[in-house]
């Protein structure tokens, strides 16, 4: 593994040669995660790829993350809205590429995500967990379920209850496939040979537009219901509806409201759900870790349902969750555009090229993690991990565009981990191939079949 060395300005970063015309496109389309991991192992912290005529650099070192996301963030900007996730989320908080209007949005929404406010939402999180376990209780011991779908449902329940005071559980069956279709579309298009306008009637475009329509229907129903009720709930939806432009006093357009709501709705459940699915996958393969987790839960909770207030007293639960976030970051790499030619550690990054900051590779970087690919919650015990680079662990990114939902995700994730592990053992159905698939987020490709065995 090569580490970073000061290079002469203007050098070309190393990387796989690729094929004539298409460059490395085929590898990316086949397995982007594997391609990035392999190239990191072979070439080191900065790797150059070609996707057709476009240049892309994979970047994987905490010091480089510090440069790209914090110290020189004005040189590495969000992708233009018509190219990436913006096709799905429009001008919402994640995809807005205009610094000033993004800052206004962020300041408006930030209070909703303050720790105190989230703690007050704890009851709603517990209630959603209880609804899920209540459903499970009606099933026989050893029932087989796709646990990835279960996690998607419970986190959808939580995000809509906490942020929009609404119940969309009956829609869960439509939301999952629609989110999967749109994120697949966006990520395949990003590494595709040609980018036809979305309005053209190709089968992929049609499927994308249909899935977007499904999500729009659900989001607009939430908005219209609240407007019709005329009542306030003190939630994010109220905040968005009440927001006024500082210059002209106007409220948000319907389109902007839709973009903000859909952003929180999608980013706020899919990521946490995937993290929890990976947690069950890891725990099923490490029964000794599950046993220690359950021992902590039994001794601290003595059989009662955990609450947010219990989390500080459940250090091993936190360690397990952190270790899953390290090995399976739900957003494994984040894209940035390089508008003007610049250099990074001496390597030339051409104007209009792209960066993929690989959180996945950073969090498995052998310079910072011993036995990097091993699931070992003990590495989080005590103060050990605090001695290393702050950005060697960065599942929520860093700098101004850091995840706004990081505290919510941590509370919710640890709480659900505790509730489910307290209730049952989850075993993997033998014979299935569990492979990660990245379509913006990282999920088990074909779901995760597990059997549920209540403990008492």
Residue ranges of alpha helices (H) inside 286-314 are 287-301
**Closest to ligand HEM by CB, 125 or 348:** 125
Among 39, 153, 263, 376, binds ligand HEM (CB under 6 A): 263
For residues 70 and 198, which CB has a smaller minimum distance to ligand HEM in the complex? 70
Q: What's the closest the beta carbon of residue 154 comes to ligand HEM, in angstroms?
A: 13
CA nearest neighbour of 274 among 330, 326, 325 = 330
Using the rule CB under 6 A, give the single segment among 135-143, 191-199, 267-275, 362-370 that binds ligand HEM: 267-275
Q: What is the contact mask toward ligand HEM in residues 322 to 341, using x (rule: CB under 6 A)? A: -------xxx--x-------
Q: Spell out the residues 6+ positions from residue 384 whose beta carbon is closer than 8 angstroms to its own.
A: none
CB of 235 to ligand HEM, least distance (A): 12
Instruction: Say how far apart CA 313 and CA 300 lie, in whole Å.
Output: 7
Work out the angle at residue 57's Cα, subtended by the Cα atoms of residues 51 and 204, and round it to the nearest 5 degrees.
40
- Binding mask of the shown chain, residues 270 to 299, with x at each position contacting ligand HEM by CB under 6 A: -xx--x------------------------
Minimum Å distance from CB 405 to ligand HEM?
A: 2
Among 122, 405, 416, 424, binds ligand HEM (CB under 6 A): 405
Tell me which residue of 66, 39, 61 sits closest to 50, measured CA to CA.
Answer: 39
Report, in Å, the least distance between residue 279 CB and ligand HEM. 10
Under rule CB under 6 A, residue 166 binds ligand HEM: no
User: 3-state class of 305 per DSSP?
Assistant: coil
| Distance separating alpha carbons of residues 64 and 80, to the nearest angstrom | 22
Judged by beta carbon, residue 330 or residue 424, the one nearer ligand HEM is 330
Q: Binding residue for ligand HEM (CB under 6 A) from 317, 318, 358, 397? A: 397
Helices (H) and strands (E) in the chain, counts: 15, 11
DSSP string spanning 104-154?
A: HHHHHHGGGGSHHHHHHTHHHHHHHHHHHHHHHHTSPTTEEEEHHHHHHHH
User: Any contact of residue 395 with ligand HEM (CB under 6 A)?
Assistant: yes
Binding residues vs ligand HEM (CB under 6 A): 93-94, 106, 159, 263-264, 267-268, 271-272, 275, 329-331, 334, 395-397, 401, 403-405, 408-409
């Amino acid at each position: 593994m090569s580490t970073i060395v000061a290079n002469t300005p203007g050098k070309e970063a190393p990387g796989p040669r690729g094929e004539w015309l298409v460059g490395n496109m085929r590898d990316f389309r086949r397995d982007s995660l594997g391609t990035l991991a392999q190239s990191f192992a072979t070439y080191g912290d900065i790797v150059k790829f070609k996707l057709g005529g476009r240049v892309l650099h994979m970047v994987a070192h905490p010091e480089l993350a510090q440069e790209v996301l914090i110290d020189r963030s004005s040189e590495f900007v969000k992708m233009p809205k018509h190219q990436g996730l913006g096709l799905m989320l429009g001008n919402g908080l994640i995809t807005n590429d205009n610094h000033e209007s993004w800052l206004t949005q962020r300041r408006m929404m930030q209070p909703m995500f303050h720790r105190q406010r989230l703690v007050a939402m704890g009851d709603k999180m517990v209630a959603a967990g209880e609804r899920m376990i209540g459903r499970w209780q009606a099933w026989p011991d050893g029932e087989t379920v796709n646990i990835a779908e279960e996690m998607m449902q419970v986190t959808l329940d939580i995000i809509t209850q906490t942020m929009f005071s609404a119940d969309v559980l009956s829609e869960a069956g439509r939301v999952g496939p629609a989110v999967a279709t749109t994120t697949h579309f966006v990520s395949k298009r990003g590494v595709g040979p040609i980018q036809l306008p979305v309005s053209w009637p190709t089968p992929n475009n049609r499927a994308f537009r249909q899935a977007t329509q499904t999500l729009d229907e659900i989001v607009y129903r939430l908005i219209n219901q609240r407007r019709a009720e005329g009542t306030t709930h003190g939630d994010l939806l109220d905040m968005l509806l009440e927001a006024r432009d500082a210059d002209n006093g106007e409220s948000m357009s319907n389109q902007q409201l839709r973009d903000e709501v859909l952003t929180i709705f999608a980013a706020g459940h899919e990521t946490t759900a995937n993290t929890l699915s990976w947690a069950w996958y890891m725990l099923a393969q490490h029964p000794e870790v599950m046993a220690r987790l359950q021992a902590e839960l039994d001794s601290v909770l003595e059989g009662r349902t955990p609450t947010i207030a219990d989390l500080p007293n459940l250090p091993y639960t936190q360690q397990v969750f952190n270790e899953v976030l390290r090995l399976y970051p739900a957003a494994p790499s984040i894209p940035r555009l390089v508008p003007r030619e610049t250099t990074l550690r001496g390597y030339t990054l051409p104007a209009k090229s792209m960066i993929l900051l690989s959180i996945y590779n950073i969090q498995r970087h052998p310079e910072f993690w011993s036995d990097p690919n091993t699931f070992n919650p003990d590495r989080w015990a005590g103060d050990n991990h605090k001695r290393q680079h702050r950005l060697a662990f960065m599942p929520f990114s860093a700098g101004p565009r850091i995840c706004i939902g990081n505290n919510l995700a941590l509370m919710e994730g640890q709480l659900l981990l505790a509730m489910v592990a307290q209730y049952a053992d989850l075993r993997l159905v033998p014979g299935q191939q569990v492979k990660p698939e990245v379509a913006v987020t990282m999920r088990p490709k074909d779901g995760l079949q597990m059997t549920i065995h209540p403990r008492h």
